[in-house]
Amino acid sequence: MSKSFLPTILEQKEKEVTGLPMEELKPLRQTYKFYDFLKTHPNKLQLIAEVKKASPSLGDINLDTDIVTQAKTYEANGAAMISVLTDELFFKGDIDYLRQISSQVSIPTLAKDFIIDEKQIVRSRNAGATVILLIVAALSEKRLKELYDFAIGLGLEVLVETHNLPELGVAHRIGANIIGVNNRNLVTFETDINTSLELSTYFKGKPAYISESALFTAEDAALVAPYFNGILVGTALMTADNVAEKIKELQIDKG
């Protein structure tokens, strides 16, 4: 993967979206609102557990995993939401993984992709997602707001992902309820947990905040726990010898 990761992937997404049909809307899968869950369970650092077979920075992570078994293990051990990679080319994900997992769990599922069009949002909802990801770095503020409002209008929740202070400002301006801080720079793909710690000083009262990427141990989780409602973890869970134990380790008690 080149150093300019994001432009490369967005170019590919433009091509994908062109060929994507606008699906007819199916009923929204019923589960709890993720934002409400975060706000009513403040005594624990909540976990978004990710099903991810590969990534551009690490290559293949775990191609052999049974995705539904993995997701059920996440749910059984107290994950608050399951994130499912649906990007095929760069992450070896699939919209069908989202469909399979969403049909087998009762907690919220997050469609994790580079979403740039309404067609992707409808497709994600139809596949069982109750939350979608929108990345501030991937969209103009105007387009971000349009897609955000579109998703909310369909009864979905939105995790708005930021990487720096200007992007956090955008997320606040559009009224995002759930804001992610990605410790991975999407251009260079390097990670730094300090991204979360630095941006936490600018947080406001109403949104729920999620720290994403570069979180592998209880020590990592403890660093961000005072400032964040939850963390999004993929690689550490996909490579863990004992997934249940790893989940317990990361769910820091904040009480």
Q: Is residue 200 part of a domain?
A: yes
Task: Give the span between the Cα atoms of 20 and 15, in whole angstroms.
Answer: 9
Confidence of residue 3 (pLDDT cuts 50, 70, 90): low
- At 62 the pLDDT is 77
Distance from C-alpha of 18 to C-alpha of 119, rounded to nearest angstrom? 10
Mean pLDDT calculated for residue range 171-200: 93
Would you mind telling me the total number of residues written for the chain in this entry?
A: 255
Parallel/antiparallel/unpaired status of strands 59-60 and 54-55: antiparallel
**Per-residue model confidence as pLDDT tens digits over 24-35:** 999 999 999 999
Q: Does 228 fall in a domain?
A: yes
Q: Pull the structure tokens for residue 249.
A: 């380790």
Output the pTM of the full model.
0.95
Residue range 205-224: average pLDDT? 96
Per-residue pLDDT, 255? 77
Question: Which has the higher per-residue pLDDT, 62 or 89?
Answer: 89
Within 10 angstroms of residue 55's Cβ, the number of other Cβ atoms is 22
For residue 157, is pLDDT > 60? yes
Please state which of the ranges 1-5, 9-13, 176-180 shows the lowest mean pLDDT.
1-5
For the chain, what percent of residues have pLDDT higher than 90? Answer: 85
198 within some domain: yes
Residue 96 sits in a domain whose CATH number is: 3.20.20.70
What pLDDT, on the 0 to 100 scale, is given for residue 1?
Answer: 39
Contacts of 187 by beta carbon, 8 Å cutoff, 6+ apart: 3, 4, 5, 6
Q: How many domains does the chain have?
A: 1
Q: Are 107 and 76 in contact (CB under 8 A)?
A: no
Higher pLDDT, 185 or 148: 148
Q: CA-CA distance, 82 to 102, in Å (whole number)? A: 9
What confidence score (pLDDT) does residue 91 get?
87
Residue range 96-148, pLDDT digits in tens:
999 999 999 999 999 999 999 999 999 999 999 999 999 999 999 999 999 99
- Residue 14 CB neighbours (<10 A): 11
Averaged pLDDT for residues 144-154 = 98
Residue 251's pLDDT is what? 95
- What is the domain extent for residue 75? 5-13+33-114+129-136+158-250
Cα(150)–Cα(177) distance, rounded to whole angstroms? 15
244 occurs within a structural domain: yes
User: Among 18, 123, 105, which residue's Cα sits nearest to residue 68?
Assistant: 105
CA separation for the pair 197, 70 (Å, rounded): 30
Is pLDDT of 2 > 50?
Answer: no
Residue 108 lies in a domain: yes
- For the stretch 34-85, pLDDT in tens is 999 999 999 999 999 999 876 767 777 777 888 999 999 999 999 999 999 9
* CA distance linking residue 235 with residue 6, whole number of Å: 20
Whether 179 is covered by a domain: the verdict is yes
Query: Is 74 within a domain?
Result: yes
Report, as an integer, the average pLDDT of 85-100: 93
- 3-state secondary structure at position 174: coil
Residue 183 counted as domain residue:
yes
What pLDDT does residue 54 have?
67
